[in-house]
Amino acid sequence: MNKHSRKRAPICFKRWKRTPWAAFASMGKIIKIGVLCVTYSLLVMKSQPLLGQSAAKNGKDTLRDLEELIISTERPTPFQPLVRVIAVIQQQEIERAAVRNLPDLLRYLQGTDLRSRGGEGVQADLSILGGTFDQTMVMINGINFTDPQTGHHSLNIPVEISQIERVEILQGPGAWSEGSVAYAGAINIITKRPKKISAGASVSGGSYGFFKGEANLGFASPGRWQVSGIGGGGYSSSDGYTANTDFSILNLYTNVSFVRKSGSREHTITLQAGYQHKAFGANSFYTIAYPEQFEETRLFLSSLQYQYQSGRWQIKTSAYQRRFFDRFELFRYEAPSWYTGHNYHQNDIAGINVQAAYKWGRMGTSIAGAEYRFEHIFSTVLGDAISAAGTEGENESDLRQVPFEDGKFFTKAKSRHTPGVYIKHIVQLEKWRLTGGLHLSNSYNSAAGVPAAGSVSGSYGTRLYAGISAAYKITPYLEANGWANNSFRNPTFTDLYYKSPTQTGNTGLKPEEAVAAQMGLKLTKINFRASLSGFYRYGYRIIDWTRTSGSDQWQAGNVTNIASAGGEVNLTYFSTTAEHKGSKCASLINSAGISYAYLTVSKESGNLHSLYATDFLRHKASAFVDHKIISKLSARWDVSFQKRDGTYLGPGNAETSYKPFALVDVRLLWSAKKYKISVEATNLFNTNYLYIGNLPQPGRWIKAGLSISL
């Protein structure tokens, strides 16, 4: 630069989001990057708000708001899915919401149908885009931990919400994070990665004898290997909001990362592990005929990931496992003489994935990978008979003892193997972002242990699945996007084998398949977000449990073809000036939003009643406002409305339609530097409502808590 040229004041960027890089050149100023905050999930690149700062002539700093910036990099981005992240709950929203468990937190997300059986995350079913709970993939940091026994257990996650950085919702089947295909959608729970040493603890209590305590330690250390992670957990319990709804839940979780950088090369090793123990009264959970049900579960999970990155290459491998124990008691107290005993289950999943990504420059990024997933169950009711326990002459050594129980043995077993290969390609042009991919998969069953005569085994066949997605930047702030995919889901072990006085599985079930597409518009400004979308899905050979009118007998089968269509609209406002102390334009509103989702479903199953597939949420509307009251005191209000289609068998086996309902939750929060005090009330107006037939939900529930951070 000529020494006689007029010196230009630098602009310091503390955060950024998306908009063309050309924004820098258009300012005609020297740009100095101060703090560059770039975060990305295992599924899609994310972004943070951008604040521009320049020095005024009077020496005082002035704030300049700029729109989003697209981050350009020579490194490949293999974590971009075929379906983009549609909804995200960030850490700040998590901390301010009137919830203290993960399942209830998911109720706040657009496009979701969260149906609780008990309070405080005891058990809940999550559906996306009108799918069923068995059609939703559940991931932690991109690892697929979906339960193969039943989707009822997929949300048994040993992570406290104080350990969560954000939760992402992906709509549609193209969520191929590690080669796995999601039928209707997926959630991805991203845990915190501390950048410094920290510690925190909280305690809370409230109605129905509720108690909860949590403690977490975050650590980070520099060196040849940069080490960071979080470890801790929580315990909660309650006497229950009605008879036989008491519970106790213990969660323990840790996530540790090791990063070594040497020039352009980077090695990353990530380990996560968790344990959960639940014991809870399951009042009428699975049948109203026997309300004194009880369930106890234990879960162990872990994963190990290694990633190597250098120049245009990125290579990633991961291995994971999950073991889940379940004891279900149809009679918690006194059992009738015909009752033969409790149900015991142990299901395991294990898998490995290897993928490589190469960035070709303007031609985009190619990703190729292979995955192998193993699913297995030992049970007293699910699977093929190992041997006839108790029969004279049988070798008891063939049986496997039930863990944590004396004198109990598993009598049935089943295993499933799913190898697959996949390839994707991502192209980022000036205004276009295009993604396409193929996934080849083959699932086959095999009996385990010493199979008895009549065991079921065989292959579901090799299938090819494909998907495309596209996004076009109409203006710097307005984007049009869409996707189309086909997908599948294998039947769960419960679908295949479960048998009770009111339910009968079907060992002849085939995988269900679907073709789906979605189109939408997304508007993104500094403090305003808006989106509009519509989708259509046609599912064939849908796995469902059906019954005839007036009967309480449910039968699993590939009996339903379903066409689902719907749309969503969302508007959200975030205050960007309220963060700046002393700002004259600081807003009393921290954030506010409104959303509405509509769904319609048509079936081809005659006059049969559906237990899950056509029992759907037709209307879902929600609104929230987070506002200041005085000084450090703020409040968040959440209002929701639901209207569900479908019926259930009420008293006297009468067909009963679901009634619409509205709920109001509120949380008051006093925020200081080292501590926070909160008081919250869920179901403020004590509304009577149902998510699932014959299972009344808690009335007004008041809690108060204190959290301390160091």
pTM of the predicted protein model: 0.84
Pairing of strands 11-13, 31-33: parallel
Structure tokens at 59: 């020496």
- Residue 43 above 90 pLDDT? no
- Residue 286 above 60 pLDDT? yes
Q: What is the pLDDT of residue 25?
A: 41
Q: What is the pLDDT of residue 395?
A: 54
Q: Exposure string (b/e) for 413-430, b if CB count within 10 Å is 16 or more?
A: bbbbebbbebebbbbbee
Distance between CA 375 and CA 348 in Å, rounded? 6
- Give per-residue pLDDT as tens, 340-376: 899 999 999 999 999 999 999 888 899 999 999 999 9
Q: Which residue has the higher pLDDT, 140 or 17?
A: 140
8 falls in which pLDDT band (50, 70, 90)?
very low
- Average pLDDT of span 128-148: 90
Distance in angstroms between the alpha carbons of the first and the last residue of the chain: 47
- Residue 91 above 60 pLDDT? yes
Q: Which residues 6+ apart lie within 8 Å of 448 measured at CB? A: 376, 378, 383, 384, 386, 413, 414, 415
Q: Which residue has the higher pLDDT, 661 or 99?
A: 661
- Average pLDDT of span 232-253: 96
Is 690 strand, coil or helix?
Answer: strand
- HEC secondary structure over 530-561: EEEEEEEEEEEEEEEEEECCCCCCEEEEEEEE
Q: Which residues 6+ apart lie within 8 Å of 399 measured at CB? A: 386, 387, 389, 409, 410, 411, 449
- Average pLDDT of span 221-246: 94
Q: What is the pLDDT of residue 15?
A: 41
- Give per-residue pLDDT as tens, 578-591: 444 444 445 789 99
Q: In what order do the strands lie in the sheet with 31-33?
A: 31-33, 11-13, 51-55, 61-65
Apex 298 CA angle, 289 and 99, nearest 5: 80
Distance between CA 255 and CA 126 in Å, rounded? 25
Q: Which residue has the higher pLDDT, 545 or 620?
A: 620
289 falls in which pLDDT band (50, 70, 90)?
confident
Q: What is the pLDDT of residue 22?
A: 41
Beta bridge partners of 13: 33, 52
Q: In what order do the strands lie in the sheet with 85-90?
A: 85-90, 164-171, 185-191, 136-140, 143-144
| 478 closest CA partner among 436, 529, 527 | 529
168 falls in which pLDDT band (50, 70, 90)?
confident
Is 312 strand, coil or helix?
Answer: coil
CB 669 within 8 A of CB 633: yes
Q: Which of 10-24, 268-282, 644-658 has the highest mean pLDDT?
A: 268-282
396 falls in which pLDDT band (50, 70, 90)?
low
- What is the DSSP secondary structure assignment for residue 282, as one 8-state letter? -
CB 467 within 8 A of CB 82: yes
- Residue 388 above 80 pLDDT? no
Q: What is the pLDDT of residue 401?
A: 92
Q: Measured between alpha carbons, how far is residue 461 from residues 149, 173, 417, 443, 489 in Å?
A: 21, 19, 12, 7, 13
Q: What is the CA radius of gyration of the chain?
A: 26
Q: What is the pLDDT of residue 390?
A: 40
Say how many C-beta atoms besides its own lie within 10 A of residue 238's C-beta. Answer: 26
Q: What is the pLDDT of residue 174?
A: 61
Distance between CA 71 and CA 37 in Å, rounded? 11
Distance between CA 424 and CA 223 in Å, rounded? 36
- Residue 595 above 90 pLDDT? yes
- Residue 146 above 90 pLDDT? yes
Distance between CA 547 and CA 552 in Å, rounded? 7
CB 301 within 8 A of CB 308: no
Q: What is the pLDDT of residue 86?
A: 66
- Average pLDDT of span 47-73: 38
Structure tokens at 177: 């994070």
Q: What is the 3-state composition of the chain as percent helix, strand, coil, each rounded to the nearest 5? A: 5, 55, 40
Q: Which residue has the higher pLDDT, 393 or 640?
A: 640
Length of the chain: 710
| 90 closest CA partner among 485, 642, 593 | 593
200: left (phi over 0), alpha (psi -120 to 50) or beta: beta
78 alpha-carbon distance from chain centroid: 20
Structure tokens at 306: 């290694």
Distance between CA 486 and CA 137 in Å, rounded? 15
- Average pLDDT of span 3-22: 43
Q: What dihedral do alpha carbons 318, 323, 324, 327 form, nearest 10°?
A: 170
Average pLDDT, the chain: 82
Report H helices in 498-626: none
Structural domains present in the chain: 11-65 (no CATH), 85-192+202-709 (2.40.170.20)
Q: What is the pLDDT of residue 389?
A: 41
Q: Exposure string (b/e) for 13-34, b if CB count within 10 Å is 16 or more?
A: bebbbbbbeebbeeeeeeeeee
